[in-house]
Structures are given as structure tokens and as C-alpha cells.
Structure 1
Amino acid sequence: MELLGSRTIFECFMSIGTCFMLSVAYLGSLHVWKSQYNRDHPTTIRQRFLSVFVMFFLSPVFLYVGLNKDVLEKVSLAEVLGLRTKGLLQAFFMPLFLTMILFLGPISMELYSGIAKLYTEESYWYSNFTNLIWLRSHLVAPLSEEFTYRSCMLPLLLQCLPPLTAVLVNPLFFGVAHFHHMQERIRFGLDFRTAFKISCFQFGYTTIFGAYSAYIFYRTGHFVSVFVVHAFCNHMGFPDVVEVAGYKRTKKIAVVSLFFLGFFCWCALLKPLTEPSWYYNKNPWYSG
């Protein structure tokens, strides 16, 4: 794999600067309302739904302005955004399967506790599809964040940075963006130190996830891949290791073993299951 050609320092500065401005625009759209309520209040959620809907149309403008026009001579803007139909089926299922392997331990915990049985009940899905917080976490946030931070931002970085560097730099915009929750926590009564610790923890795991998501988008070239993976990770949440500590010895050994097995299998399958040829990914970031 190789870059499209040599890029000047100025061009790289412009690409990274455009990413920064896009991130600021996305965050600004969430806070433009000056809501008196917290982020989980229905009014705030509806207002921010409208904001990210507007960003669906605004974010590609940043990409188009910052993208080298040589790229658009090779592929369409829609393809750069990962909006393709060829390879769509495998793009939906294979990265999701890969991520489920990584979460083998937490999935086993849901099976042990009986929570997984809820997914077969109609009332579970009805109540969630009428719940604004659930819709935000499983639909709107994955759609808007992946479209902005992956589809519209990663191509700008890939045109001037080596792929691995771009994949590692991209999640920094995504991770830092989560510090905006700190302001809200302090405003609604949390002390600065606690709010800062929570934000640092969020920055850590969202940056790790962001790198994983960026890698998947780079390899598959499909927006649906990162959307479904993001939605699944939001559903699973951060593994509750405290709960594992409370298990009986035999159960604890089994679950911990599945945590390690899932991680090692994920490492082994990460590259094969994201092989670009599976997804007909011929975007110009690849030489082949």
C-alpha cells in the first residue's frame, strides 16, 4: 500500500486543519441550543438529533473542500464516504462477527445471566425503539459519529499521512470530542476532579475504539461496517469486570478464559476478516 503521491507539509496541515474544523463544527452543533436540561432529557436529545441531521449534509462539504481532486478522478465522492453497494452484505456481517469474537467474554456473561433471552421478546424491541436514549446510543450516535469522524475525516488524513498514522491520529479527534461531556457533568453538580476522571476514562476507551473503527473503515471502505460495529459496541458497553470478580470459582475461570480466547482469536482474525478484496475495496488509498 502507498499514498497517492507526495504531499507538501502545507497540504497535510490543511487536511488536519479541516479535520479539526469539522470536529469543532460537529460539537458546536450539539451545543448551539444552550439547553437548560441535561443530555438525557428528551428535549435535549431531540434538539441534538436535529443538529446531527444537519451535520449529515454539512460534513461531506468539509471532505469535498479538503480532498485532493485527484482522488475524485478515480472514485466518486460517495465511494470515498464508504457509501457503496458492492460487498455490502459481507461489510455488514463480517466486521460485526469479528467484533462479537472480541466480546466473547461479555457475551457469555449475558448468556449466563439470562439477559440474552430478552432479545427474543417483542416487548424488548418495542420499548427500545420508543426510547430516545436507546435510539441515540444504538442508531443516531453510531450513524452521525461514524459518518463525521470516519467517512468524512479519515480520507482527509489518508491523503497526506501513512495509513497506520492516519488510523492512529483519527481517533484523537473522536476521543477529545468526548471531553465536552465534562462541562455538562460539572454543570449538573459533579465536582471537577470526578468529572475529569470520567472524561479521561472515556477518552481512553473511545480513542482505542476509534482506532479500531478507523482501521475497519480503511480496510473495508464501507460505512456500514463501522456503523454496525459502533452500534454493537455501544450496546455491549464496557465489560463489567467487577461482576466477574463476584462469580463462583468455576464460572469465573470459564468467563475469564472466554475473555482471553476472544481477544486472541480477534487478534488472529483481524487482518484476514478485513481483507480489502472481500469488500471490493479499490479506493485510491490502496496500490493494488
Structure 2
Amino acid sequence: MQVEHTHTRCWVCVLSCLLLACLYVGSLYFWKSSLPRDHPSLIKRRCASVLLVAALSPAVVKAWMHWNDVKVDASVWQLMGVRLEGLVPAAVLPLLLTVVFYLGPLVHSVIDNPDGFSGELQSALNVQSWMLCVGDAVWLRNQVVAPVTEELVFRGAMLPMLVPCTGPTAAIFMAPLFFGVAHFHHIVEQRRLHKDSMSVILLVSGSQFLYTTVFGAFTSFIFMRTGHVVGPVLCHSFCNSQGLPDISSALQHPQRSALLFSYLTGLLLFLLLLFTLTDPFFYGAIPVCSLATPAASAC
């Protein structure tokens, strides 16, 4: 397949991504409400909105393909990482890699649990606790709806449109910018609720932009290396459940040396396993890589 890299078509790629980002964020404000963002009623409405945008995202990719006369031997869904080949390793290995990165925080939780590792394991396998989570609107938003819709839109839909223009490697770092900027909408909500001063809101939003952009680059890398969206979704959900590693707390902990060692070990193992566990060998032919011109090893 040949893809023309013209100035106009690159602008079409960028504008298509901007359209998707605006549709996603705009859908959150379709429902005018004075309720706080964690109110169950508002969560249900917003979840319905972003699920609709995610469902429409393949149509945007299809329209982009038609506009640019892009023809590949793969369906839109396959380009977006929804496929069966290599599904099991695509679900397990990236998640394992993410768990390795969180070795420090996980050890931290075990140390602080009075029942130790057995207590943490028992809590993780508690069916009743999981049933309560499923009935919690905030949990469903953070662990299910947000990971699925954000990864499908910001990774599954955007990366195939960026790859022909930028190439696989640049797309990995460009797509997260749309993801990071999309989170600036929290500024509007914070101002509406008058919780903090503008300087504090901007500082928090800036930090969130940095974190979401870095995280977006990681899940974009997972998507390009595996050709699946399931890995980014599961990694996203796991990271949402864990939050940012609390290194400052570890530095003040009575068992500081053991914790810092586990944090460092997790980081080193993550770096060592990053390319090994995402080797395309495990996942078969990657449809999105067929959009690159020329075919690049970054996939």
C-alpha cells in the first residue's frame, strides 16, 4: 500500500484527531448540570455520551480512509486494535509489564496491611467486594468506561490516522498530546465549583497534563507494538486503580530501605522487559503497521 505524505493530508490527520478529541470532551458537557462530577446521575449520563463517541469513532476512521483514499487488507476494527489474533498475550503481557512497574506501590500496600500478603490477596479475591464495586458508579467510570472509551478513541482511532503522516514512532509521542490536552476540561469544572484558586487549579491541571501525556505515550507504544487495544485498556484500568506511586510516603516509611529497593527494582525490571514483553512476535501481523510508509520496525 502507498500512502502519500502531503501537507494537506497531514492536516486532515490532525484535524480528524482534533475532531475526535473535541467530540469526546464535548460529549461530557452535553448534559448541563450543576451536580459535582462524582454524582451517580451525572456519571451515568456522561458514560452514555462517551460510549456513543467511542462507538462512532470507527466511522471517523472510515471517513478519513475514504477522504485520503487509503486502502489496506484489514477492516477498520482491526486497524483500531479490535481483533482475535494474539488476543490472550495482548491482554496478559502488557498488564504484567504494568504490574512490574508498580512493584514498589504493591509492596508498600503489603507492608502496610496488618495481614500482609495474604490479606492483600484475600482482599483482591473477595467476590463480595467486587460485587460492590460493580454497583458503584465512580468505580465503573474509572475502571471500565473511561479506560475502554479513552483507549478506543485516543489510541485505537487516532494512531491509525497519524501513522501514515508521522510514521509509527512519532505517532506514539504525538497522539498522547491530544489525550493530555483533553484533560484540561477539568479546569472548567474546578472553576465552576470554586474549590481552589486559579493558580492551584492550573498547577494541578499542568501536572495532570504531564502525567496523562506520559501515560498516553506508554499505552500508544503498547498499541503500536501489539496491534491490540485490549492491552492499553487493561493497563489504563490498572493504573487508575493504583494512582500515582506515592514515593514521598515511601521516603518517610519506617521500612524505607525495603520500599525504595522495591520501587527501584520495579522500574529497572520494567525497562528491561519493555521491549521483550511487547515483541510483535507474540501478536502476529499488526494491521496498523501496514499504514506506515515505508513499513517501519517500530511496530
Establish whether TM, by shorter chain, passes 0.5: yes
Q: Would you say 1:33 and 2:51 are equivalent positions?
A: no
The alignment partner of 1:158 has SS state of helix
The alignment partner of 1:274 has SS state of coil
Aligned to 2:124: 119
Aligned equivalents of 2:202, 2:104: Cα separation in 1: 29
Please state how far the C-alpha of 1:269 moved relative to its aligned partner: 1.0
**Structure 1 contact 219–281 (Cα < 8 Å) conserved:** no
Counterparts in 2 of 1:220 and 1:4: CA distance versus 1, 3 Å: farther
Q: Would you say 1:78 and 2:83 are equivalent positions?
A: no
Unpaired stretches in structure 2, ≥5 consecutive residues: 114-118
Counterparts in 2 of 1:203 and 1:191: CA distance versus 1, 3 Å: same
The alignment partner of 2:237 has SS state of helix
Give the counterpart letter for 1:202 in structure 2: Q
Aligned to 1:45: 43
1:173 to 178, 194, 218: 178
Please state how far the C-alpha of 1:176 moved relative to its aligned partner: 0.6
Aligned to 2:61: 63
Aligned equivalents of 2:237, 2:231: Cα separation in 1: 10
Q: Would you say 1:23 and 2:21 are equivalent positions?
A: yes
Give the counterpart letter for 1:65 in structure 2: A
Please state how far the C-alpha of 1:241 moved relative to its aligned partner: 2.0
What count of residue pairs does the alignment treat as equivalent? Answer: 284
1:257 to 237, 254, 261: 261
Please state how far the C-alpha of 1:81 moved relative to its aligned partner: 1.1
Please state how far the C-alpha of 1:6 moved relative to its aligned partner: 4.2
The alignment partner of 1:272 has SS state of coil
Aligned to 1:161: 166
Aligned to 1:268: 272
Aligned equivalents of 2:271, 2:2: Cα separation in 1: 29
Give the counterpart letter for 1:37 in structure 2: L
Please state how far the C-alpha of 1:223 moved relative to its aligned partner: 1.1
Q: Deviations over 1:221-249 (max 9, x none)?
A: 0011111010011111001123212211x
What TM-score results when the alignment is normalised by the length of structure 1? 0.94
Aligned equivalents of 2:72, 2:64: Cα separation in 1: 15
Q: Would you say 1:228 and 2:234 are equivalent positions?
A: yes
Unpaired stretches in structure 1, ≥5 consecutive residues: none
Give the counterpart letter for 2:72 in structure 1: E
What TM-score results when the alignment is normalised by the length of structure 2? 0.91
Q: Would you say 1:191 and 2:197 are equivalent positions?
A: yes
Please state how far the C-alpha of 1:74 moved relative to its aligned partner: 1.9
Which range moved further: 11-20 or 60-69?
60-69
Aligned to 2:116: none
Which range moved further: 116-125 or 259-268?
116-125
- Superposition RMSD in Å: 1.7
The alignment partner of 2:81 has SS state of coil
Please state how far the C-alpha of 1:66 moved relative to its aligned partner: 1.4
Please state how far the C-alpha of 1:162 moved relative to its aligned partner: 2.1
Aligned equivalents of 1:73, 1:96: Cα separation in 2: 29
Q: Which runs of 4+ in 1 moved over 6 A?
A: none
Aligned to 1:244: 250
Please state how far the C-alpha of 1:21 moved relative to its aligned partner: 1.0
Please state how far the C-alpha of 1:282 moved relative to its aligned partner: 2.9
Q: Would you say 1:107 and 2:106 are equivalent positions?
A: yes
The alignment partner of 1:99 has SS state of helix
Give the counterpart letter for 2:82 in structure 1: L
Aligned to 2:5: 7
Aligned equivalents of 2:165, 2:275: Cα separation in 1: 23
The alignment partner of 1:86 has SS state of coil
Aligned equivalents of 2:73, 2:6: Cα separation in 1: 21
Aligned to 1:128: 133
